[in-house]
Amino acid sequence: MATETRGEAAAKDEDKSSSAPKRTTPALFVRQVIAELRKVIWPTRRELITYTTVSLVFVLVMVALVAGIDWGLQKGVFWLFG
């Protein structure tokens, strides 16, 4: 059903190709944003804490990895060039 409607709408839009595209008003834009935000499935507090913890642990591991590689390369350059 949706594809049929889209197809008909697309066909009507092709007929109007000579006219300028219609702009959205700021009020309509805000209403559409609010409607889309209502569709969002927000995480629970427990999920949010879990996601935050996993993200922070991952960042800390990556910082440690990059710092370790940097330190090792620094020691190697100092050893090589004195």
Q: What is the pLDDT of residues 44-67, one digit of tens each?
A: 999 999 999 999 999 999 999 999
8 Å CB contact between 72 and 65: no
**Global pTM?**
0.55
CB 76 within 8 A of CB 68: no
Express each pLDDT in 12-37 by its tens digit: 555 555 677 788 899 999 999 999 99
